[in-house]
Structure 1
Amino acid sequence: MTIRLQPYALLALALMAAPAFAQQESASPFGGLGNSKDPIKIDADRLEIFDKEQRAVFSGNVVAVQGDTTMRCSQLVVHYDQSATQGGGQTGGNQAAAGQPADAQAGGTPAENNIKKLECAGPVTVVSKDQTATGDNATFDRQANRVFLTGKVALSQGQNVQQCDHIVYDLNTSIARCESKPGGRVQGVFVPGGNEPQKPARPR
């Protein structure tokens, strides 16, 4: 079966699944990833398409940019459902099954695929203007309509910093929940006016 996976459009479909992204740009660094007015550009050292397993893997210095938002990770795995895809051919499937790099332009159209989940292997960094989120791993689950950031999570805006073990961001409610392991604590440092950009020191 032939599949056409355009990497830019592929990630865009998954990240733009919920309008709540765009509504909360000022409240979450994930917000910029849902701005449908801007194109998404993905750079990576390697792209492999595993047709039978229905996943595409971007690896090596992965950088996804949309508008003012930039996401960096070591590996990005896109899980999709190709049950609605029609067509023949073996180009993409053969390369994927053999574990060989697949051409990003090979085979079907992204619109025909149902993107189910994105998994980002870290370290993961999401930067949007003055907001930054970091963690060991991140998952964008379209079916649950949630974003999960796990492992030494830190959220910062200016001088304000929150730290926890994992964070769950609900795209339906635009609510972020920070939690830590049993016995652990969620830590936060909030500086009055700390969300304002620091002014350069005056020369003496």
Structure 2
Amino acid sequence: MTHSFRILIAVILFCQPLGAAAQGAQVAFGNTAQDSSLPVEVTADNLDVNQQDGTAVFTGNVLIGQGEMRLSAPRVLVVYKNDQSGIEELQATGGVTLVSGEDAAEASRADYNVDTGLIEMEGDVLLVQGINALSGDKMFVDTRAGTARVTGRVKTILQPENGNQ
């Protein structure tokens, strides 16, 4: 999702009458539930590994794929489990885009717990689902259930099914 597309969505959201404002909204996210046991594929321009603390930092055009889910960011810190048997957590920063099926979300940062399948996105969250958009301060994605919960000054425009008001 480009920066200009995000600005366009923001203009549409904030120039029309408020359709819904709440402290939290539960929505579907992605076409199907994500299997967090699938392999995680990471591509990036650079990699720095720290054997002492069991971390790796990917920088530059980072793209992470797991099943149908894709996450991109300028920088991703990978924290390995204590026994080095797998990935415990991914911490993406610098502007993050998360795509699952036809749904896409943007935020300043995202933390993904691979074992639980939970992703916490925060900082100017924007969720786009087809013609609908939803914004808030934080979004919690349960990849196993295929749902998301947006909190913190949630705003959306509800479109009538037939397009008439």
Q: CA deviation at 1:80?
A: 1.2
Q: Are the aligned partners of 2:97 and 2:105 in contact in 1 as well (CA < 8 Å)? A: yes
SS at match of 2:80: strand
Give per-residue Cα distances to partners, 1:110-131, cap 9 Å, x unaligned: xx52422110113100123421
| Partner of residue 121, structure 1 | 93
Match of 2:104 in 1: 132
Q: Rg larger in 1 or in 2?
A: 1
CA contact under 8 A between 1:75 and 1:120: conserved in structure 2?
A: yes
Q: Structure 2 counterpart of 1:27, which letter? A: A
User: TM-score scaled to structure 2, two decimals?
Assistant: 0.67
For residue 166 of structure 1, what is the aligned residue in structure 2?
A: 138
Which runs of 4 or more aligned residues in structure 1 lie more than 6 Å from their structure 2 counterparts after TM superposition? none
Change (3 A) 1:40 1:171: closer
Match of 1:56? 56
2:35 is aligned to 34
Alpha-carbon distance, 1:150 to partner: 0.3
* Greater share of strand: 2
Using CA pairs below 8 Å that are at least 6 residues apart, which structure has the higher relative contact order? 2
Greater per-residue helix proportion? 1
Per-residue CA distance 1:117-150 (angstroms, 9 max, x = gap)? 1101131001234211110000012466521000
Q: How does 1:175-194 map to 2 (within 5 A)?
A: 175-180=147-152, 185-193=153-161
* TM-score normalised over the length of structure 1: 0.56
Shift of 1:188: 1.1
Structure 2 unaligned residues grouped into runs of 5+: 1-26
Aligned length: 136
Contact 1:134/1:154 (8 A) holds in 2:
yes
The CA deviation string for residues 171-197 of structure 1, in whole angstroms up to 9 with x for no partner, is 5665532111xxxx2101222349xxx
Q: What amino acid is the match of 1:34?
A: D
Q: Taking structure 1 as reference, are residues 70 and 143 closer, same or farther at Cα in structure 2, changes over 3 Å only?
A: closer
Does residue 46 of structure 2 align to residue 46 of structure 1? yes
Q: Distance in 1 between matches of 2:44 and 2:34?
A: 18
